[in-house]
Amino acid sequence: MIEERIRSTKRAVIPYVTAGLPDLDTTGDILDVLAAGGAAAIEIGIPFSDPVADGPVLQRASYLALKAGFRMCKLMERLGSWSARVSVPLVIMTYINPLMRKGLEDSLTALRDAGVQGVIIPDLPVDAGGIFDHCSRIGLDLVRLVAPTTKRARAREILSRCSGFVYAVSVKGVTGQRTSLPEGIDAQVASIRELTTLPVCVGFGVSRAGQVDELLGFADGVIVGSHLMQEVMSGTDPVERARDAFARLMNGSR
Amino acid sequence: MKGYFGEFGGQYVPETLLPALEELEEAMLQAFADDAFSAELQAYLSDYVGRPTPLTHALRLSAHYGCDVWLKREDLTHTGSHKINNAIGQILLARRMGKRRVIAETGAGQHGVATATVCALFGMECRVYMGSTDMARQRVNVERMRLLGAEVSPVESGGATLKEATSEAIRDWIANVDTTYYLIGSAIGPHPYPTLVRELQAVIGREAKAQFETLAGGLPDAVVACVGGGSNAIGIFSAFLDEASVELFGVEAYGEGNGRHGASINFGYPGVLHGTRSMLLQDKDGQVCETHSVAAGLDYPGVGPEHSHLAATKRASYRLVTDEQALAAFRLLGRLEGIVPALESAHAIAFLEQYSRQNSGRRVLVNLSGRGDKDVHTVFGGAA
Ligand SMILES: Cc1ncc(COP(=O)(O)O)c(C=O)c1O
């Protein structure tokens, strides 16, 4: 489902939203405007106390969401209605610990039951085979990340246990906005394509429509996180800000 | 499975770091199999660090507690704590790997000082991440690090202690993985770090076992060490793991009790933090808890995976000492033995109060992991 959706979307931009910032009602409203704005899929971030793969913006988003009282059980209550209402695939992105606390497999199954279509976990254990098998069994996509440092043999191993799409991490570094795209990202995407038929989406550091244009020249989709959350956190009208920022990305640079 | 101690350990890291961990593991295995590396390490340990450290028979403390107390004097190493054993070993490894830039996290500042020291010794660039809370309470060590040429980066997020400093060091490593060596300070983190740090701290146990045999004869009845991440404890335990008659006690920081502590094994649940699966202080949602200890080096919600395994298999027991008890032991050791321990190490001393009640006359080996100069103003100034 995610795979087809990305393929069939002309300008496949996948926004990331930290859940519960400033509250879950607002998150629901943001999902609505992003879906209406043409998102190919939406990543919902479950905040975590120690987000080691995230730069300052998403760290702050996590911190503020937790401070505002984010609770897993409240999110689980909402997810079902969100996935029924929002017409685009919802993908959960979070660190492994919040999912492991009540048993990883049970948590993944609960997400599937709530209508979530995929998960992205940046700190999966090196041998994630068993987790992938569980996801396949229950019909949940396990999106895997491939880094610029990933060697070919490892990439092959990852891609043989990946579904939905491939998340190509564009930079050596944590999440965050960057002014220019790293050199060699097109070659990185090309080398991933040699190993998989899944759509390849690029994330980490994208903040401008021009970057989206450029990336979509060779990638199937683009993920935008920090830039949107920066907007969401910088005013009293987070829903409008998310809508406008996403519209600017969707409209292209021309 | 590779890198696991029972169900604990592993490598739970962002993909970017995985090749670096593989490279490190390979370098570690090669170094440990290389006599030239062992000889070089041995030379630095004896001529620079000042090893072997003495084993002191603490006669007045023994009389006080009614059991026979022997202190392994890591406080007498260069820089004043066991952290230097690990730092010197890892810097030699970093050099073999051709790295020029070193990063580290620090809590009490002892690991930061040890890292800054070995970086100065080998002319390497050094950046130390330290929570701003810890920078305030361990100010002396911040100044020492800067004096040694290290850059100390304050970390403001969360509780601004060791947990946040470690996260920030990992972020730096992700961004600079090609050029940078991450010199982790305790037996925590993803494989191979818990093994690497244990092997480098094992010198404490090897020496202490031989010294005890010579000075006291036979084996101690119990070995005691404080546990933050668990490096000094695993270092001294390692020599006694196969000696079934020797009881092993790790002492966790019980802080102010009641939810304000750092006792991961006693009160935690299995979880993943900083790349390893181990006992972790966390809430029902898997959010990691803020911790508290008067000893900055014990103020950490996780613990090395091997300790979780030793606890699960009951080979070692993990006991609790409060801030107040540690502060009392800090003073006691000064008065009775003329030794001012680090507040971390004072936790191990304070445990003797509990131990001696049921074990009078027994022979106890305590790892005195560091000296307390850094803590004097906390104890007198109430800065904690
Ligand atoms: C003197 C001393 N002892 C113990 C510790 C705790 O660390 P570990 O449990 O790794 O030995 C520290 C940490 O900073 C320390 O400085």
DSSP B80: S
Provide the chain B residues 171-190 that lie in CB contact (below 8 A) with chain A.
171, 174-178
Of the partner residues A55, A59, A98, the one whose CB lies closest to the CB of residue B286: A98
Pocket of ligand 1 (CB under 6 A): B 81, 83, 107-108, 110-111, 186, 226-233, 297-298, 342, 344-345, 369-370
Is A147–B14 a contact, with Cβ atoms under 8 angstroms apart?
Answer: yes
Query: Would you list the DSSP string of A101-144?
Result: TT-HHHHHHHHHHTT--EEE-TT--S--HHHHHHHHHHT-EEEE
Please, which pLDDT band fits residue B85 given cuts at 50, 70 and 90? very high
pLDDT of B121 > 70? The answer is yes
Contacts of B292 (CB under 8 A, 6+ apart): B253, B255, B256, B260, B261, B262, B299
Which residue does chain A place closest to B283, by CA atoms? A101
Please say whether the structural domain A2-143+206-248 has been given the CATH code 3.20.20.70. Answer: yes
pLDDT band at B382 (very low <50, low <70, confident <90, very high): low
Interchain proximity B274–A50, CB inside 8 Å: yes
Separation between Cα atoms, residue A123 and residue A100, nearest integer Å? 12
Q: Name the percent of chain B lying above pLDDT 90.
A: 96
Using the Cα atoms of residue B141, residue B24, residue B162 and residue B203 in order, give the sign of their dihedral: negative
Closest partner CB to B170 (pick from A52, A72, A126): A52
Question: Relative to the CA of B341, which ligand 1 atom is closest?
Answer: 1
Residue nearest to atom 10 of ligand 1 (CA): B231
The domain limits of chain A are: 2-143+206-248
Optimal mutation site among A18, A48, A49, interface B, most CBs of chain B within 10 A: A49
| Six-digit token string for A72 | 């897993």
Mean pLDDT of chain A: 96
As for the ipTM of the complex, it is: 0.96
Share of chain B above pLDDT 70, in %: 99
The helix (run of H) or strand (run of E) holding residue B317 is: strand B316-322
Residue A143 to residue A138: CA distance in whole angstroms: 15
Catalytic residues of B: 83, 105, 369
CB A106 within 8 A of CB A131: no
Active site residue A43: yes
Q: Retrieve residue B213's tokens.
A: 């045999």
**A77 noted as active-site residue:** no
**Beta-sheet strand order (sheet of B68-73):** B55-57, B68-73, B363-368, B222-226, B247-255, B316-322
- Whether residues A49 and B287 touch (CB distance < 8 A) is answered with yes
Quote the minimal CA–CA distance from B196 to chain A in Å: 19
Give B312 to chain A, closest Cα distance, Å. 18
Which atom of ligand 1 approaches the CA of B107 most closely?
14
pLDDT at B381: 77
Cβ within 8 Å, pair A126-B10: yes
- A35 has pLDDT over 50: yes
CB A216 within 8 A of CB A222: yes
- pLDDT of A253 above 90: no
pTM, two decimal places: 0.97
In this prediction, residue A235 carries a pLDDT of 87
Q: Is A16 helix (H, G, I), strand (E, B) or coil?
A: strand
